[in-house]
Structure 1
Amino acid sequence: MLFAQDKKNPTRNQRAKTVLALAAAAVAMTLSGCASYKPAPKSFQEATIQPYRLDSGDRLRVSVFEQPSLSNTYTVDQAGYIAFPLIGQITARGQTMPTLEGAIAAKLKQGYLRDPDVTIEMDRYRPVFVMGEVGRPGQYSYVPGMTAQNAIAIAGGFTSRGNQRDVDVTRKINGEVITGRTTISSQVLAGDTVYVRERLF
């Protein structure tokens, strides 16, 4: 109706064009806001094929050959340490299991055991967190090979408003917390947070 009056009322026509332009700008801003997270960087994929790095919440099964009093399960605490008999606090955060084996053996060799043989196995991984548009947001047990889609299924699946195309994953890589957008078929790691956004339409 407004455009039918172009010749009679150019001011009204100009106002209509301005309203349409503002509406288009608002939509563009909404879309750009939803794309504020960048696609997952290359380091995301690389992290899934790197040796596993320990962090708070991992529970380890540590065995010292012929030393039943030292063989037990130990949990990496919030500060990133495990409290081990005889040698006290030892740094676990950021270590692989083989390097932690060597560190414990080296400490035990300093006046406690002549030739300690230490092996470490994972007893329980730190959890993954699933948030946003899922049935039951929260933390869930991690299993190797888990994908974002697996984690979402365990958390009750998508809500009716959930964006099922891709998700935002927050991950600690080399001590730095990074968030990237990735497909639901992408592998997740222990300690990751998977966030399901609300779909636009």
Structure 2
Amino acid sequence: MRFLVVLLLIYTSFANASDYQLGSGDSIAITVYNEPDLTTKVRINKSGKITFPFLNELHVHGLTTKQLALKIKKGLLGDYLINPQVSVSIVEYRPFFIHGQVKMPGGYPFQDDLTLDKAIAIAGGLAARASKTQWKITRVVNGKTVLLNADVATLILPDDIIEIEQSFF
């Protein structure tokens, strides 16, 4: 039952792409309509911050793209622009990691609708001695690290660490 609750929390927290929370390693594009000097692409640094003209350093970790657009709009409003129209989009998601019994372990850029079977394919497929069922995912949910048993249909999120165990038979 506890596992089901964790899965529901994970699903509901990522069910909508607009609910995606920005984090270190994400690359984003910020566009301010009719202001080419304020349009930029930037990668979120390890401390969860970006630098933006006129606003200096902004803490963006944990914000959605809509929340960040509103934060930038409020910062530019009045002193710099009368009615700034700001949009934020994700250019490249932070990676997920896969190790253990796959042909090419490592970190790979996250993609929308990524499931464990697709992640294994990205990593070159299962190695000869890989278990067909012993797959685990380490994930941070609401600030806590959880270990999940996974199957081919399990949804993969950015920052997930996938472990493909070795088969004993």
Task: Give unmatched runs, 5+ long, in structure 1.
Answer: 1-37
Q: C-alpha root-mean-square deviation of aligned residues, in Å?
A: 1.7
Residue equivalent to 2:130 = 162
SS in structure 2 of the partner of residue 107 of structure 1: helix
Picking from 65, 70, 84, the partner of 1:97 is 65
Q: How far did residue 47 of structure 1 move?
A: 3.1
- Please report how far the alpha carbon of residue 46 of structure 1 lies from its aligned counterpart in structure 2 after TM superposition: 2.9
Q: Is there any run of 5+ residues in structure 2 with no aligned partner, and where?
A: none
* TM-score normalised per structure 2: 0.89
Structure 2 residue aligned with 1:48, among 14, 27, 36?
A: 14
SS at match of 1:164: strand
Report the residue type matching 1:55 in the other structure. Answer: G
Corresponding letter in the other structure for 1:53? Q
Alignment of 1:38-187 (within 5 A): 41-42=6-7, 43-50=9-16, 51-187=19-155
Letter in 2 for 1:103: K
Distance in 1 (alpha carbons) for counterparts of 2:54 and 2:164: 46
Which is strand-richer, 1 or 2?
Answer: 2
Question: Given that residues 133 and 196 in structure 1 are in contact (C-alpha distance below 8 angstroms), is that contact kept between their aligned partners in structure 2?
Answer: yes
Letter in 2 for 1:172: V
Q: Percent of pairs identical after alignment? A: 28
Moved more, 75-84 or 186-195: 186-195
In the alignment, residue 15 of structure 2 is paired with which amino acid?
A: I
Q: CA deviation at 1:161?
A: 1.5
Deviation at 1:149, TM superposition (A): 1.0
Residue 110 of structure 1: how far off its partner (Å): 5.0
Structure number having the greater helix percentage: 1
Supply the AA of the counterpart residue of 1:192.
D
Q: For 2:3 and 2:106, how far apart are their aligned partners in 1?
A: 24
Report how many residues are paired.
164
Amino acid at match of 2:158: A
CA distance in 1, matches of 2:89, 2:105: 29
